[in-house]
Structures are given as C-alpha cells and as structure tokens.
Amino acid sequence: MRKALLGCAAALAMGAAGALAAPVQAQAQRPNVVFILADNVGYGDMGPYGGGELRGAPTPRTDQMAREGLRLTQFLVEPACTPSRAALMTGQYSIRNGLSLIIVPGTPSTLSGKAFTMGDMFHAAGYATAIYGKWHLGSEPQSLPTAHGFDEFYGIPPDTSWDSATYVDTIALTRSIEAPYQDLLAKGPYIVEAAAGGPLRKVKPFTPAVRAEIDNELTAKSVDFIKRQHAAGKPFFLYLPFSMGHVPNLPSREFAGKSRIGNYGDKLMEGDHHVGQVLDALRELGIDNDTLVVFASDNGPYGEVAFNFGNQGTPDMGNSGPYRGELGEASEGAVRTFAFIRWPGHVAANTTSNAMFSIMDFLPTLAGIVGGKMPNDRPIDGVDQSDVLFVRSATGRREGLLSFIGPDLVAARWKQWRVYFTDIHPTGIGPQRAPGLGSASAPMAGYPKLFNIEMDPHEDRNVGAVFGWGAEGPLKEVEAYEKSLKGHPNPPAPNITNFRGE
C-alpha cells in the first residue's frame, strides 16, 4: 500500500515538474528586478514578524515595504549560507551542485561551470546584471559570478563569508603564523572586483574596519548601477547580498549605538536603512512601479555558536521567533525566515501569504515574469510561484521540501509536518524526551522523528507514535527526489571529515 502511494505521488510530482518547465506568459512590460539578501536574520527579527521595535531595533523602512507589498510567512531556505545561495541561484537543491555544506577555503567545493544561475537567466533575457556583496559559491574561475551571467561583481572573497574580516587579527592573536602583521594583511582576505568573463582583482584588505562600513559601499554601488542602467535604457537585475545579520555584526559609524540591544540591533537598523536607500533611488528615478524588489534572508539566525561576537555582553545573534533552531541545523527555525516582495501595481499591497515558498522557487518564478528561459536538461526543484505573488492562489504550488546537510538527507517538510531521518540535538532546552519507540539506544531506533509545526512550532514533541500516517507525506517528497536521481545523479557531496585520497 505504502509503495503504491509513494509511486503515485512520485508520478504526480514529476508531472508537475514537467508542467512547470514552460514559463508563465511574461508581463507586457518586463520589470527591473532587485534582490536584496540579508545574512542569517531570523524569523523573529524584522518588524512585520514581531521583531523591529519590539526587538529593540526599529525597522521602519522594511515595515513600510511589507505594507506596500507581500509578506511570506512560510519562506523556507537551506540549512546554511552556501547551500541557500546555491539553491537561490540555480533553482535546485544545493546537493545537486555539490554545495550542501558551507564552502571552506582549501576544500574542492565550488560551483560548476555547467551550473545554470539566476545571473545566466537574466543575462540571456537581455538584462544588465550586477552583484555587490557575498557570493560564497567558490573562487575558481568557472565559479565566479562573472562566469555565470553577471556583468559586474564587487565584494568579499567569493569563497568566504563576512567573518573572514577577523582572520588576520585572530591569526595574529593566536600566533598561528609567525609573521609581521602587515605581511599577514598582504596575504588577504581582500575585497575584490571583476567584470564579465574577467579575473578577480584585489581592491583592498578586508579588515574589521572595512567590514563595519561595507554595506555603505555595497548600497552606494547598487544605487549607482541602478542609475547607470536607467540612463542607458536597459532593464537590470541587481543582486545585493549584503552583510546585515552575519557575525561579527560591526555597525557603521552612523549606526553604532542606535538600537537598544547592541551590535546586532544596530546592524538590523542599518540594513533597514540601506533597503530604504535602494527604494528611494527607484522612486527618484520614476521607475518604482517598473521594479520588482525582493528582500529576504538566506538562513535562520547565527545564534548560540557565535553569540560572543557581541559588544559589552550583548548577544550578537538573531531570533528565530516561535521556532526552534539556528544556522547549520535542519529544524524549522533554521530554515524558515523572512521575505518581502514589492512591485507596485502588480503585487498587491499589504498582503500576506502562508503558502510554502522555497528559496529555490525564485528562479523559475522570476523567469516566468520576465520571459526568461529555464534549462530542460536537469531537474529544477524550484516551482513557479507567480500565483502566490499575484494573489491567484493561497496555497501555491509547493507542498514539501527536503533538507540536506553534506551528503545526507536529514529532514523533510510536507504541509505542516516535519520529519527527521537522523538524530538531531536542537538548540534550546536540550535533548527531547523520547520514550517508547524513540528510546532505544540504536540511532533513531529505525524510526524517523515527526513533528507538527502548527501544533508544536518549537518542535518539543515527537508525535510519530500518535500520528503514524504523518510521515507518509514527507516520504513522498523523498521518493520523488530519489526517482529524479536515476537520470540525473548528484556530483560527489561535500565532506570535510572523510579523506580517502581518491
């Protein structure tokens, strides 16, 4: 019975995927697209989700953005930075590109030259394209954003994150490399830039002082790009993955001390300000109604593991709202965060959707809106969610989502059910009580753990013994994914603990 149900579900899933291969009819007027990505800002941090002023860090500009557009309350990402950004750019689960762990310099993990990205889609559709900020998909020549459809790139090293600004200081602190400070600084990391098809060029050392002011630079470059493309009469795609939310949250001089909760709050307020600057530029140029703007976060909060980056005892960490988890975990609070979508005259103002919406869904959705083409030679896990944007559907076209960490499929969502296939030790009050079927000493005792996110947002109660049928939906998602691997096997998954010399 179960195999029959799974087979039926897999067939339906593959059929739906085929139906989504053709983009929806493009708008008569193709919009410009601005995608602003925060870094590890939790579900409970922004004002429209119960944060903002109540959190001690007012976010008036993004509060306004939410009132002028669509707020997603079930926006789901992958468990960490590189995986989420790979999923956003490719419309695929990160494991399909071998990027299901955070890229660490010195490891072979890097975006393949054969990958199809959001930059490629917009470039082929005739858009000017730029990225300012964090790429985090690899620094090999074939992995750079300028090798994947982006005309311009300026930002931090494309194989590291914002905390790399501390590397030289902590190397000097620990004396791990005995060398003069200036020699360590000369080795990097560096702020870099590149043009389409060209190599990376060093601009300046990436230090804590530069880190504090970097979002000012990135926003200024973004506004300049918008003005240049508007003057040229060319549609544009701007990708602004700035630093708001990621440790160490070092606020700029203008925002230091502005919030009531220390550096983290200061940086939330600063990021809110920068979003406002971009929106103001669009208004001043008279292209506000011609531009679709997305503001979202790549992950849940960077919490307990790095809270001591804060100042004067304040925790440098986000808030996952009612959910359990933080960056690196597969629990709900790690993979559910905020997203706003604004396009005056097209996306209805002051609307909220609880449709399940994956970060992978943005690529096929935007392709449909601008008339871009999606590849048909690989599985695309994202689905076109334009019906959610334009209030034609309350539920959207997604019922489930899988979560991978490294080589392992660790969890799945289906509707309000979350199931774990590996033992987890979530952030919070400690190991969950696991009597009966879950109490054996063998890992997982052979049974998955099951939680109902609506009944139990904090995932405190494993209800597998009560709702035994609840795992069936998530298992359908697994079955459909496994079927897709028969024709399109994944590359080797990243692993930084097993070294076989192969």
Q: What is the per-residue pLDDT across 119-178, written as a single tens digit (0 to 9) for each?
A: 999 999 999 999 999 999 999 999 999 999 999 999 999 999 999 999 999 999 999 999
Crossing angle of helices 263-284/208-232, nearest 10°?
10
- More confident call, 484 vs 23: 484
Phi, psi of 242 (to 5 degrees): -90, -175
pLDDT at site 29: 78
Residue whose token pair is 């400070």: 181
- Cα–Cα distance measured from residue 378 to residue 489, given in angstroms and rounded to the nearest whole number: 10
- 136 tagged catalytic: yes
Residue 418 DSSP symbol: E
Distance of CA 253 to the CA centre of its chain: 27
pLDDT at site 425: 61
- Cα–Cα distance measured from residue 155 to residue 135, given in angstroms and rounded to the nearest whole number: 8
pLDDT at site 445: 66
Structure tokens at 344: 């005056």
- Cα–Cα distance measured from residue 153 to residue 56, given in angstroms and rounded to the nearest whole number: 34
Per the omega criterion (within 30 degrees of 0), is the bond before 248 cis?
A: yes
Is the pLDDT at 74 greater than 90? The verdict is yes
pLDDT band (50, 70, 90) for residue 304: confident
Is the pLDDT at 434 greater than 60? The verdict is no
pLDDT at site 446: 73
Contact 23, 91 (CB under 8 A): no
pLDDT at site 8: 40
Is the pLDDT at 28 greater than 50? The verdict is no
Structure tokens at 427: 């952030």
Q: Name the residue among 295, 277, 298 with its Cα closest to residue 226.
A: 277
pLDDT band (50, 70, 90) for residue 494: confident
Global confidence as pTM = 0.91
Residue 267 DSSP symbol: H
Structure tokens at 308: 């001591």
Choose the catalytic residue: 8, 123, 136, 230: 136
pLDDT at site 133: 98
Q: What is the per-residue pLDDT across 379-425, written as a single tens digit (0 to 9) for each?
A: 999 999 999 999 999 999 999 999 999 999 999 999 999 999 987 66
- Cα–Cα distance measured from residue 128 to residue 122, given in angstroms and rounded to the nearest whole number: 8
Tell me the average pLDDT across 461-471.
87
Structure tokens at 471: 């795992």
- 425 tagged catalytic: no
pLDDT at site 429: 47
Is the pLDDT at 9 greater than 80? The verdict is no
Share of the chain above pLDDT 70, in %: 89
How many angstroms separate the Cα of 171 from the Cα of each of 102, 168, 176, 182, 306? 21, 5, 6, 12, 18
Question: What's the mean per-residue pLDDT of the chain?
Answer: 89
- Cα–Cα distance measured from residue 32 to residue 414, given in angstroms and rounded to the nearest whole number: 33
Q: What is the per-residue pLDDT across 47-68, written as a single tens digit (0 to 9) for each?
A: 999 999 999 999 999 999 999 9
pLDDT band (50, 70, 90) for residue 13: very low
Which residues are bridge partners to 295 per DSSP? 36, 340
Indicate if the alpha-carbon torsion angle 462, 463, 464, 465 is positive or negative. Answer: positive
Q: What is the per-residue pLDDT across 242-260, written as a single tens digit (0 to 9) for each?
A: 999 999 999 999 999 999 9
pLDDT band (50, 70, 90) for residue 427: very low
pLDDT at site 148: 98
Phi, psi of 481 (to 5 degrees): -65, -45
pLDDT at site 500: 62
- Cα–Cα distance measured from residue 165 to residue 163, given in angstroms and rounded to the nearest whole number: 5
pLDDT band (50, 70, 90) for residue 501: low
Tell me the average pLDDT across 476-492.
94
Contact 48, 338 (CB under 8 A): yes
pLDDT band (50, 70, 90) for residue 35: very high
Q: What is the per-residue pLDDT across 326-352, written as a single tens digit (0 to 9) for each?
A: 888 888 999 999 999 999 999 999 999
Contact 401, 418 (CB under 8 A): no
- Cα–Cα distance measured from residue 295 to residue 241, given in angstroms and rounded to the nearest whole number: 10
